[in-house]
Structure 1
Amino acid sequence: MSRLTLLAATLLLLASAPVGAQSQPAQKGPNNNAVNSSDQNNSKAPVAGRNSFTEGQAKSRIEAAGYSNVSGLQKDDEGVWRGKADKSGTKTDVSVDFQGNVNPAQ
């Protein structure tokens, strides 16, 4: 194959590639967070789902939401961490769902 033919074939391939296919930036993702910050619940009750928080992370989220003396944390069949904690001098049941929502028992 001659150099001219090879050059022509290469230019033809480059010209047929979609414009911007290589330079388009990746999307930053949808506007719904996989995990919410400790001060932003998106539900008033725990949301069932596969929970990747460790027991220590669940405890830290509960404490960041203003609770203390967190105890008895167990992950239930719906993926929700449940336990007991104190807030404003009152012992209450609390939960942390897979989105990081911290809620008192309803």
Structure 2
Amino acid sequence: MRRLTLLATTMLLLAAVPASAQSQPAQSGPGNNAVNSADQNNSNKPVAGRNSFTEGQAKSKIEDAGYSNVSSLKKDDQGVWRGKADKAGTKTDVSLDFQGNVNPAK
């Protein structure tokens, strides 16, 4: 009997919750993405922060942003991957921050 009462109470509570509260749509508003696509930067300079990209992932993200011959990648004390790469025939310093922002050195 107690089990039946618990089940009935649970069903009543579930029926009382509005359908809109059960499944929230994904937010598409402003946000600060942890990782950006290659064509979307949050900043024109590297943003310091805890970087979880491996060296291989960092190299791939930089290549996806249009660079080639990525070399000498090292993560600095700000969590930013820094190295050298070619773009449009020019060798340049390049960086990748924890948000996925790829920027040439300025």
- TM bin, normalised by shorter chain, reads 0.7 to 0.9
Q: TM-score, normalised by structure 1?
A: 0.78
| Pair member with larger Rg | 1
Map of 2:68 onto structure 1: 68
What are the superposed Cα offsets for residues 1-39 of structure 1, whole Å, 9 maximum, x if unpaired?
xx5x87667545644x37227971255356422210011
Identify if the C-alpha distance between structure 1 residues 104 and 24 changes in structure 2 by more than 3 Å, giving closer, same or farther. same
Identify if the C-alpha distance between structure 1 residues 34 and 9 changes in structure 2 by more than 3 Å, giving closer, same or farther. closer
Q: Which amino acid aligns with 2:61?
A: R
Identify if the C-alpha distance between structure 1 residues 21 and 102 changes in structure 2 by more than 3 Å, giving closer, same or farther. same
What are the superposed Cα offsets for residues 44-102 of structure 1, whole Å, 9 maximum, x if unpaired?
00111111111111111111111111110001111100000111111110000001000
Q: Which amino acid aligns with 2:60?
A: S
Indicate the percent of aligned positions where both proteins have the same amino acid.
64
Identify if the C-alpha distance between structure 1 residues 48 and 10 changes in structure 2 by more than 3 Å, giving closer, same or farther. same
The CA distance in 1 between the partners of 2:82 and 2:39, in whole Å, is 18
Q: CA RMSD in A?
A: 2.7
Identify if the C-alpha distance between structure 1 residues 53 and 11 changes in structure 2 by more than 3 Å, giving closer, same or farther. same
Quick check: 1:103 aligned with 2:100? no
Aligned with 2:93: secondary structure?
strand
The CA distance in 2 between the partners of 1:70 and 1:39, in whole Å, is 18
Map of 2:37 onto structure 1: 37
Gaps of 5+ in 1: none
Tell me which of 22, 25, 32 is aligned to 1:24: 22
Q: TM-score, normalised by structure 2?
A: 0.78
Count of paired positions: 102
